[in-house]
Amino acid sequence: MSKPIRLALTMGDPAGIGPEIIVKAAHQMRDLVQQGRVELQVFGCGAALQRATQLLQLDAAPLHMVDVGPVDGPMPVGQVSAAAGKWSYLAVERAVQRTQAGEIDAIVTAPLCKEALHLAGYPFEGHTEMLAHLTGMRDGVMMLAHGGMRVSHVSTHCPLSEVPKRLTPVRLRRVLDVTLNALRALGIENPRIAVAGLNPHAGEGGILGKEDGEIIAPIVAEYAAAGHAVTGPWAGDTVFIKLRAGQFDAVVAMFHDQGHIPVKLLGFSIDPATGAWNAVSGVNITLGLPILRTSVDHGTAFDIAGKGIASADSMVDAAQYAMTLVEGLRRTQPQPLETLA
């Protein structure tokens, strides 16, 4: 039998739903742990994990707790605080260190609060940027995945006014390279990638913007000439329909909302009687770093923290995606990547 996949579950903001969804995920994954397929290590606040365990009273898989404290200051459940922001950062920092030391195979992150992170003195835009800093890389790529909907992003957490500046040939090549490697690790031998346009109708022949014809199209042609099934630029309002129909294996989106909205629209389950969302699935994957990281595709949900009602579906999805990627990388040798670092 192959050796267990060692996952570091970082707690995210311990005042949010992170501790609860970790305990629930361990409950849902207990058979995988008992079968020796995976080992679960939790990085964060030990007291928060104990509180969630007592609240939920579930038959969970064994969890090895790595308490990254101490951290001074109050941390009320369901509220933003500097202390919680520091716990969040330290958990990821320690998990990255263990992963780079070869003690962990992949990191699975629960949601953090950017405001709390900033209050604690860590001015990162989110996990992706934090991980890039901790690993010494500045060209990580965010991919969202929900079933067959896989979307990589050229830019993420930046104002729309900055998006055209971030669309460069070097960046687009980087996103395509890591997306191709990830799809192969997922078992797709000949990945088909559609590149979304930046402007409405992919620029309409230059009438609605020049970037699609001057930047995107030449890179797409370059990859197609090299034998890759890369096409585009496709109009952003129809390309995701084609992805959902199975015509592609992934889409490269140009900016945050272009890629996030279609994946989240499908990933959130809504109760038609109340209008409330009762479950969420989908995974956030960081590609192109020297470590592997997946994450839930939702936020800290402070409004329901401490109530024991948060869904762990996305956390389980993220852990299972990490396992699939680790298994794929053990089977295959990724192609060399161009780097900006």
- Contacts (Cβ under 8 Å, ≥6 apart) of 193: 176, 179, 180, 183, 228, 229, 230, 231, 248, 249, 250, 251, 252
* Mode of pairing for the β-strands spanning 149-153 and 141-146: antiparallel
Tens-place pLDDT, residues 12-23: 999 999 999 999
- Predicted confidence at residue 139, as pLDDT, reads 83
User: If you write DSSP's letter for every residue of 96-116 in order, what string do you get?
Assistant: HHHHHTTS-SEEEE----HHH
pLDDT of residue 147: 87
Greater pLDDT, 276 or 100: 100
In what helix (H) or strand (E) does residue 241 lie, and over which residues does it extend? helix 239-244
Residue 279 has pLDDT above 80, yes or no: no
The region, left, alpha or beta by phi > 0 then psi within -120 to 50, assigned to residue 131 is alpha
- Mean residue pLDDT of the chain comes to 92
Q: What is the pTM of this model?
A: 0.86
Q: Architecture of 141-279 per CATH?
A: 3-Layer(aba) Sandwich (3.40)
Q: Is 1 in a helix, a strand, or coil?
A: coil
Whole-angstrom Cα distance, residue 193 to residue 230? 5
pLDDT digits (tens, 9 = 90+) for 119-154: 999 999 888 889 989 999 878 899 999 989 999 999
**Does residue 26 register a pLDDT over 70?**
yes
Fold that domain 1-138+288-341 belongs to in CATH: Isopropylmalate Dehydrogenase (3.40.718)
pLDDT tens digit sequence for 223-252: 999 999 999 999 999 999 999 999 999 999
Mean pLDDT on 206-217: 96
pLDDT of 332 > 80? The answer is no
Per-domain boundaries in the chain: 1-138+288-341, 141-279
- Which is nearest to 297 in space by CA: 286, 308, 307? 286
| Gyration radius of the chain over CA positions | 20
Cis previous bond, 70, omega within 30: yes
**Residue 328 three-state SS:** helix
Q: What is the pLDDT of residues 28-71, one digit of tens each?
A: 999 999 999 999 999 999 999 999 999 999 988 889 999 999 99
Higher-confidence residue of 91 and 269: namely 91
Dist. CA 304–CA 14, nearest whole Å: 13
Residue 265 has a pLDDT of 87
From its phi and psi, is residue 250 left (phi > 0), alpha (psi between -120 and 50) or beta? Answer: beta
pLDDT at 86 over 50: yes
More confident residue, 340 or 89: 89
Q: Which amino acid is at 226?
A: A
Contact call for residues 194 and 252 (beta carbons, < 8 A): yes
Does the pLDDT value for residue 334 go beyond 70?
A: no
pLDDT digit string, tens, across residues 284-316: 999 989 999 999 988 999 999 999 999 999 899
Same CATH fold, 141-279 and 1-138+288-341?
yes
Mean pLDDT of 244-268: 93
Range with lowest mean pLDDT among 39-48, 177-186, 262-271: 262-271
